[in-house]
A and B are shown apart, each in its own frame.
Chain A
């Protein structure tokens, strides 16, 4: 375990802005040979791009069909829900506005990162009271947790 930890820490240690690169995106082949020349070590380090190449609305359509997620399409990303959310205040990883947007546009990598935080919603309903477009974010959070659970988050299409 300790060795594994160290390995994780050493990953991409030559990158000047290391802290701003996802661990998962750094590829360091143990042995890299190109054209008969040994290219192992830092020369072989690759960082995979984090570009979004596809918008995928299938999960979003699924959420819309769920009982309390029907109004999610109205969201215009003003951030009122997050502003009043007591959970978001204590734990910024939970952000209703953000969750709605990444689900709407289908940013799979981003969903994978934060989907577990949706269960932190305490269901207090402050957001639904504050929402200017009547999206009912509290209900949407419930619908999202159902959608994520039913495995629709992975693969999506």
Chain B
């Protein structure tokens, strides 16, 4: 199988040099991509872990390939990602674990768990939930794709630990971190102090003080979750400083 895929991969390289992503024909592309040698034992473990998960029974029944999930999927509009394919590959995971494994690299990270698919599935499958389970497995095994995707998230984790869950226009200017809020936020933050003074005190209660501080117990809990889930280990390699900082903060707490 792997040998054949290599051949297909080379062929694709030769035939499709103009970079168009080959979206039309289901199945083919993964096999081609799968030319990379994978650890067969790991693939088997991943399938077992997925099927033994307590959520599996509820999230997966059987797929009749109707495409209802995909029709509601927001990433599907932009990326060649389909919840239908996810369920299909989960369905055939026992026979073709390499396709499931292949999917965990890049593919499933297009999903952001809006669960529109779950809402509409006539068989009550939950593709979004299955993706969430796969992502967890990817993190647990420290797969390369998980590391890469979690990099930005680890920064958010750091932000939560240091400045709480709130983000306000003040931070926009002081830290210049949140460009994606759009340029009008800079405009907003110009006179923010004056404008705030006009807002009744009780409305602002908690915004400026409590939510900027994170309770020690919350920090500890977050820390434990991160450690248990393997996120810290996963990003440790690429974002060493962030991981170290978080670890130090944890030590200080103790």
Q: A and B: direct contact (Cβ < 8 Å)?
A: yes
- What is the interface of chain A, defined by CB distance below 8 A to chain B? 8, 16-25, 34-37, 39, 43, 47-51, 91-93, 95, 98, 102, 110, 113-114, 117
Query: Is B12 touching A93 in the complex (CB atoms < 8 A)?
Result: yes
Give chain B nearest CB distance to A99 CB in angstroms: 10
B side interface size, CB within 8 A: 34
A16 to B23, CA, bound (A): 18
Query: Is A113 touching B24 in the complex (CB atoms < 8 A)?
Result: yes
The A-contacting residues of B in range 1-45, CB under 8 angstroms, are 8, 11-12, 15-16, 19-25, 28, 33
Query: Is B81 touching A17 in the complex (CB atoms < 8 A)?
Result: yes
- Chain B 163-193: CB-based contact to A (< 8 A → 1; otherwise 0): 0000000000000000110111011000000
Contacts of A50 in B (CB 8 A): 23, 77-78, 80
Q: Tell me the total A-B contact number using a CB cutoff of 8 A.
A: 87
Contacts of A110 in B (CB 8 A): 23-24
Query: Is A22 touching B77 in the complex (CB atoms < 8 A)?
Result: no
B106 proximal to A (CB < 8 A): yes
Query: Is B8 touching A92 in the complex (CB atoms < 8 A)?
Result: yes
Contacts of B107 in A (CB 8 A): 17, 20
Of the residues A16, A39, A49, A51, contact of B148 by C-beta under 8 Å: A16
Task: Knowing A16-B110, A20-B21, A114-B24 are in contact, say whether A93-B79 is a contact too (CB < 8 A).
Answer: no
Task: Knowing A98-B24, A114-B24 are in contact, say whether A36-B81 is a contact too (CB < 8 A).
Answer: no
Query: Is A92 touching B78 in the complex (CB atoms < 8 A)?
Result: no
B149 proximal to A (CB < 8 A): yes
3 closest A-B pairs by beta carbon, nearest first, are A35-B183, A37-B183, A17-B110
A92 to B25, CA, bound (A): 8
13 A-B residue pairings within 8 Å (CB atoms) = A16-B148, A18-B106, A19-B106, A20-B80, A20-B107, A24-B20, A34-B183, A50-B78, A91-B15, A93-B12, A110-B23, A114-B24, A117-B15
A34 to B107, CA, bound (A): 32
- Chain B 105-125: CB-based contact to A (< 8 A → 1; otherwise 0): 011011000000000000000
- What is the interface of chain B, defined by CB distance below 8 A to chain A? 8, 11-12, 15-16, 19-25, 28, 33, 75, 77-81, 106-107, 109-110, 145, 148-149, 179-180, 182-184, 186-187
Give chain B nearest CB distance to A16 CB in angstroms: 4
A98 to B16, CA, bound (A): 17
Contacts of A102 in B (CB 8 A): 24
A93 to B12, CA, bound (A): 8
Contacts of B182 in A (CB 8 A): 34-35
A64 to B6, CA, bound (A): 39
Contacts of B21 in A (CB 8 A): 19-23
Task: Knowing A91-B11, A92-B25 are in contact, say whether A21-B80 is a contact too (CB < 8 A).
Answer: yes
A7 to B182, CA, bound (A): 26
A49 to B80, CA, bound (A): 10
Of the residues B11, B78, B106, contact of A16 by C-beta under 8 Å: B106
Query: Is A25 touching B184 in the complex (CB atoms < 8 A)?
Result: no
Of the residues B80, B180, B186, B187, contact of A43 by C-beta under 8 Å: B180
Measured CB to CB, the nearest residue on chain B to A11 is B19
Give chain A nearest CB distance to B152 CB in angstroms: 9
Give chain B nearest CB distance to A110 CB in angstroms: 6
Query: Is A47 touching B79 in the complex (CB atoms < 8 A)?
Result: yes
A16 to B16, CA, bound (A): 22
Contacts of A39 in B (CB 8 A): 179, 183
Query: Is B19 touching A20 in the complex (CB atoms < 8 A)?
Result: no
